[in-house]
Amino acid sequence: DQQVKQNSPSLSVQEGRISILNCDYTNSMFDYFLWYKKYPAEGPTFLISISSIKDKNEDGRFTVFLNKSAKHLSLHIVPSQPGDSAVYFCAASYNTGNQFYFGTGTSLTVIP
Amino acid sequence: NAGVMQNPRHLVRRRGQEARLRCSPMKGHSHVYWYRQLPEEGLKFMVYLQKENIIDESGMPKERFSAEFPKEGPSILRIQQVVRGDSAAYFCASSQAVGLSGELFFGEGSRLTVL
């Protein structure tokens, strides 16, 4: 039962343009969402998070948007850089739960 | 480096052997999570432990897999009588927060290959 879904396994974007990575979830109890970035042969690293009391959080080139009614969040990277090429995982949790639920990841390729 | 440390980074086992994967959480973190990533798949939760306690093992296969986080020493994920389907990357993560409003810090993973 995949409670967090990333329906696009891959995305290619030209350098300098915007990358938009999408994530959908099914559990309305989720109240905290995170994005992780993963390079090959490395562990995932935390990128940005958002609490359900917000609908937007921004950190430099990275912005996460949360639409609770649609159970949808997205990560915007602008401008995209070749070093952003990696697999991006979204994850969700709820305060009384014991685990973070991860999506299957989207592989982003930024073309120079 | 006070990050999450996993070893070994790579482990090769023959079918039927045992695999032991170790994880030392970040300094000050008492919550440890194990995730598995099968080829072409996402991160799947396996188990959540605190010191000397298994809190949630709902993602662990019922047989052959066990985990512990003793009072002293690293957390260990043990896979007995490995099969080819156990070949995967196993990631350990730790957190400081009691609730889940914090973030997980991941190790670099242990890649198990079963021949």
Q: Which two tokens stand for residue B61?
A: 């296969």
Q: Split chain B (115 residues) into runs of 10 and give each run's mean pLDDT.
A: 88 97 92 89 88 90 95 95 96 78 85 96
For A99-110, what is each residue's pLDDT tens digit? Answer: 788 998 999 999
Bin B76: left if φ > 0, else alpha if -120 < ψ < 50, else beta.
beta
For B6-28, what is each residue's pLDDT tens digit? Answer: 999 999 999 999 999 999 999 88
Cβ <8 Å between B108 and A32: no
How far does A3 lie from chain B, in Å, by closest CA? 11
Dist CA B42 CA A34 (whole Å) = 15
Of A32, A42, A89, nearest to B101 by CB-CB distance is: A32
Of B41, B59, B106, nearest to A43 by CB-CB distance is: B106
